[in-house]
């Protein structure tokens, strides 16, 4: 799920800070120029990410000068197959932007308000140990100011290799995941501060189902995937496999042992907080549509981009703010870009899109990588690609 992911390495900054060591349209999408293989500076930037200890890396950069891609390392450590630009991967917490988009579409349709409380929509679900759904709004779920305990911080499946092997195929219900969080007192009063919690998006998924009568997976598919023609984007429920050509994930969970293949994983453990699978090309199309206003009405897109300061993210993304399922990160060339990271054991998804959606970068790295080297290398790549040809 992302930035507080399921791994126990310092990727927790992103995983425990975005997952704790855990977007109704029918408009056509404009065609883009054929992608060109990575070369020169872009390939060197991808190679720099791979050298931080990743197994495989693929990246796609789209802008006024066209589309380019680059890969490094391998998709499969056993067969040594090279990573391919069209390989699928687990996008982890980047799922949250898609889920938030659907919630905001419902707001735009007048079926929900950002000021509705969790208790208004899901009576009795958030209660006990000081948790009170009547004091938490939908907005506070989406921007992580609810104060709710992050269930992945008390989730044994992600606590180590043996635990992962024992529980990787277990099916979880949303109620069970929220129940883990309800065993804990809230971290702070609703609205008092910011702290990443996957529990917030589990509840957002439940709200989508309560309002529409359909699961978040069905609504994301109906409202985002099909209209945009995202043929390689999936919203799995309990299937542990990634179909078709894909990157395999590897993780040692911070232990002093060889990394294991973690590709197979029951996504119900992540749900609306991080279960989706996609490709760099499909994610690019999504961000282009979102940022250019093809998925949300102007009022809802404006709300999505209203951020609160997210100091917990500073170690990974200095100066970051968090909106409604979107991070906003400063650019060295001035201004900022929008993004959402995603981390699960073995997978690290990094994205960046300018406010108009004309420039988009998507990068996926497998394996644990080294911190802070991998974060610096990925941030540098995204910043340089989004700033190319621009001056302050």
Domain boundaries, the chain: 3-387
The DSSP code for 137 is B
Q: What pLDDT, on the 0 to 100 scale, is given for residue 188?
A: 98
Q: What pLDDT, on the 0 to 100 scale, is given for residue 372?
A: 77
**CATH number, domain 3-387:** 3.40.710.10
Q: What pLDDT, on the 0 to 100 scale, is given for residue 1?
A: 55
Q: What pLDDT, on the 0 to 100 scale, is given for residue 391?
A: 62
Tokens for 370, please give them. Answer: 């080294």
Locus of tokens 């279960």:
275
Locus of tokens 């399922």:
325
If we measure between CA atoms, which residue out of 342, 341, 339 comes closest to residue 357?
339
Q: Which residues belong to the active site? A: 93
CA separation for the pair 303, 286 (Å, rounded): 18
The beta-strand segments (E) located in 64-115 are: 66-73, 89-90
78-116 pLDDT, tens digit each: 999 999 999 999 999 999 999 999 999 999 999 999 999
Cβ-based neighbours of 141, under 8 Å, separated by 6 or more: 118, 200, 201, 203, 204, 207
Which phi and psi angles does 74 have, rounded to 5°?
A: -125, 155
Q: What pLDDT, on the 0 to 100 scale, is given for residue 13?
A: 36
What is each CA distance from 67 to 21, 120, 281, 324, in whole angstroms? 34, 45, 10, 28
Q: What pLDDT, on the 0 to 100 scale, is given for residue 373?
A: 85
Residue 374 near residue 49, CB atoms below 8 Å: yes
Q: Which residues pair with 3 in a beta bridge?
A: 18
Low-confidence ranges of the chain (pLDDT < 50): 2-36, 38
């Amino acid at each position: 799920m992302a930035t507080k992911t399921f791994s126990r390495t310092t990727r927790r900054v992103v995983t425990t800070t975005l997952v704790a060591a855990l977007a109704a349209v029918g408009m056509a999408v404009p065609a883009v120029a054929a992608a060109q293989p990575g070369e020169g500076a872009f390939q060197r930037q991808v190679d720099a990410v791979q050298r931080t200890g990743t197994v495989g890396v693929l990246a796609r950069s789209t802008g006024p000068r066209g589309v380019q891609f680059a890969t490094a390392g391998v998709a499969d450590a056993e067969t040594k197959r090279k990573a391919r630009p069209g390989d699928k991967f687990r996008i982890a917490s980047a799922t949250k932007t898609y889920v938030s988009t659907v919630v905001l579409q419902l707001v735009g349709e007048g079926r929900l308000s950002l000021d509705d409380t969790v208790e208004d929509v899901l009576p009795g679900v958030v209660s006990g140990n000081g948790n009170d759904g009547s004091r938490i709004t939908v907005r506070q779920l989406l921007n992580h100011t609810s104060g709710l305990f992050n269930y992945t911080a008390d989730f044994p499946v992600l606590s180590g290799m043996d635990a992962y092997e024992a529980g990787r195929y277990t099916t979880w219900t949303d109620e069970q995941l929220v129940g883990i969080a309800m065993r804990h007192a809230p971290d702070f009063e609703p609205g008092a501060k910011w702290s990443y919690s996957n529990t917030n998006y589990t509840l957002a998924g439940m709200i989508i189902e309560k309002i529409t009568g359909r699961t978040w997976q069905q609504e994301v598919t109906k409202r985002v995937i099909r209209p945009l023609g995202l043929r390689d984007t999936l919203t799995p429920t309990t299937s542990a496999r990634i179909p078709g050509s894909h990157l395999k994930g590897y993780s040692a969970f911070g232990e002093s042992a060889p990394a294991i293949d973690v590709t197979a994983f029951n996504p119900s453990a992540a749900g609306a907080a991080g279960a989706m699978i996609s490709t760099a090309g499909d994610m690019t199309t999504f961000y282009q549509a979102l940022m250019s206003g093809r998925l949300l009405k102007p009022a809802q897109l404006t709300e999505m981009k209203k951020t609160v300061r997210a100091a917990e993210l500073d170690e990974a993304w200095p100066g970051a703010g968090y909106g409604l399922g979107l991070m906003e990160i400063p650019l060295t060339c001035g201004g900022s870009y929008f993004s959402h990271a995603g981390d699960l054991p073995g997978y690290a998804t990094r994205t960046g899109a300018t406010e108009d959606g004309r420039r988009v970068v998507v990068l996926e790295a497998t394996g644990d990588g080294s911190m802070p080297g991998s974060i610096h290398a990925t941030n540098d790549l995204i910043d340089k690609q989004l700033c190319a040809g621009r001056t302050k």
